[in-house]
């Protein structure tokens, strides 16, 4: 292996190819997913401010991380990238209690067989907040386009034209609103995103503290932001390991209507009641049911 690559040892029940396509994040810049070859690419801005292209692939017993922009990775950068990659793939989650709990429910043996349950997130909560905001009340095509335009506002890669890291909240905060709105063109969400970036940049919101919150407190914190309601808060909660939060959106409603109501519409209350039977895992079960339903239709 070259000095521009290293291997991260992965947990026994970790499955890279199941984790990466756990939701649509793989389609949003600066992620890229090579499904056929099994590589995940991400444009990462290091703590030192360098824009690096990362490429991750599964190898025996671990995950290989390749950085073509760095001929010799030193120990500090290796440690930083290891932390970021482990976080993106939620490697710290222990899903054995989940699989054990699901044994008493009929029809869910596939969860353990397929090693389902781990979700892809971004290296920063800020990036996930921004992207969830860009999923609200719009088509997925809009989310993809807006995320792409937002990413173009980030630090550019030194040599690869058109490649850039996701912008920092500080960068978005210092932009004039008109400049941001003109670049992003995401309607009323422009103002919510600008406000979010400013509250993070000026220290009013400390996202690192949010990572220590319990499930309900995490959701309350997200919902305190303008533009973030129940769907957004609960979606983010699941991504950050609070699996008791049940996020209902239009895709979930469609899935539930087809599987449980012969096509008749169901409201969020009814869907939430149905999934409550899975207790502390209810939100994750819904997430994986929805993923499985839509994957089968593709």
Partner DNA sequence: TTCCAGGGGTAGA
Partner DNA sequence: TCTACCCATGGA
Reference 20, options 42, 5, 49; nearest CA is: 42
Residue 248: count of CB within 10 angstroms of its CB: 22
Please tell me the distance from the alpha carbon of residue 24 to that of residue 182, in angstroms, as a whole number.
Answer: 25
Q: Which uninterrupted H or E stretch holds 196?
A: helix 189-201
Distances in whole angstroms, Cα of residue 256 to Cα of each of 55, 116, 262, 274, 291: 36, 20, 9, 10, 12
> 23 or 53: whose CB is closer to DNA?
23
Residue 23 touching DNA (CB under 7 A) = yes
Member of 202, 250, 258, 273 binding DNA (CB under 7 A) = 250
Residue 136 binding DNA, by CB under 7 A: yes
For residue 13, the minimal CB distance to DNA (Å) is 23
Beta carbon of residue 149, minimum distance to DNA (angstroms, whole number): 9
Of 16, 166, 231, 243, which one interacts with DNA (CB under 7 A)?
231
Min CB(287)–DNA separation in Å:
8
How many CB atoms neighbour CB 156 within 10 A? 15
- Taking CB under 7 A as the criterion, the residue among 187, 206, 214, 265 binding DNA is 187
Cα dihedral 212/62/281/25 (nearest 10): 80
Cα→Cα distances 166→10, 30, 34, Å: 26, 6, 20
Q: Are 85 and 44 in contact (CB under 8 A)?
A: no
- Using the contact rule CB under 7 A, the part of the chain among 104-112, 141-149, 204-212, 277-285 near DNA is 141-149
| Comparison of 73 and 246: residue with beta carbon closer to DNA | 246
Decide: is 188 part of the binding site for DNA (CB under 7 A).
Answer: yes
Element housing 42 (H / E): strand 39-45
Count CA atoms within 13 Å of residue 111 on its CB side.
25
**Residue closer to DNA (CB basis): 95 or 232:** 232
∠ Cα 284 290 292 (to 5°): 100
Q: Is 142 in the site for DNA (CB under 7 A)?
A: yes
- Which parts of 198-227 interact with DNA (CB under 7 A)? 223, 225-227
Judged by CB under 7 A, the stretch of 96-104, 138-146, 166-174, 201-209 that binds DNA is: 138-146
Q: Please give the Cα distance from 128 to 141 (Å, whole number).
A: 17
Q: C-beta of 293: minimal distance to DNA in Å?
A: 12
Q: Give the pair of three-digit tokens for residue 12.
A: 């026994």
251 sits near DNA (criterion: CB under 7 A): yes
Which of 9-17, 50-58, 86-94, 140-148 is the region at the interface with DNA (rule: CB under 7 A)? Answer: 140-148
| Residue 24 found at the interface with DNA (CB under 7 A) | yes
Q: Which positions lie near DNA, rule CB under 7 A?
A: 23-24, 135-143, 145, 185-188, 223, 225-233, 235, 249-251, 269
């Amino acid at each position: 292996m070259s000095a521009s690559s290293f291997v991260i040892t992965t947990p026994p029940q970790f499955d890279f190819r199941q984790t990466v396509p756990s939701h649509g994040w793989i389609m949003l810049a600066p992620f890229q997913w090579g499904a056929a070859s099994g590589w995940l690419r991400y444009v990462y801005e290091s703590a030192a401010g360098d824009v690096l292209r990362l490429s991750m692939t599964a190898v025996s017993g671990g995950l290989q991380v390749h950085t073509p922009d760095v001929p010799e990775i030193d120990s500090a950068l290796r440690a930083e990238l290891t932390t970021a990659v482990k976080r993106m793939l939620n490697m710290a989650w222990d899903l054995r209690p989940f699989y054990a709990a699901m044994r008493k429910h009929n029809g869910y043996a596939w969860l353990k067989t397929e090693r389902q349950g781990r979700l892809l997130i971004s290296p920063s909560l800020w990036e996930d907040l921004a992207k969830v905001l860009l999923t609200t009340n719009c088509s997925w095509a809009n989310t993809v386009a807006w995320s792409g335009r937002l990413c173009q506002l980030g630090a550019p890669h030194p040599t690869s034209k058109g490649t850039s890291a996701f912008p920092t909240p500080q960068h978005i905060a210092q932009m004039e609103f008109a400049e941001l709105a003109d670049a992003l063109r995401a309607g009323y969400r422009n103002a919510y995103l600008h406000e979010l970036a400013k509250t993070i940049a000026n220290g009013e919101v400390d996202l690192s503290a949010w990572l220590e919150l319990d499930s309900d407190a995490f959701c309350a914190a997200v919902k305190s932001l303008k533009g973030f309601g129940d769907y957004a808060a609960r979606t983010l909660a699941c991504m950050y390991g609070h699996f008791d939060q049940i996020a209902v959106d239009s895709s979930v409603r469609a899935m539930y209507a087809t599987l449980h109501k012969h096509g008749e519409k169901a409201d969020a209350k009814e869907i939430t009641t149905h999934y409550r039977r899975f207790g502390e895992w209810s939100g994750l079960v819904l997430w994986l049911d929805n993923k499985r339903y839509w994957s089968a239709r593709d």
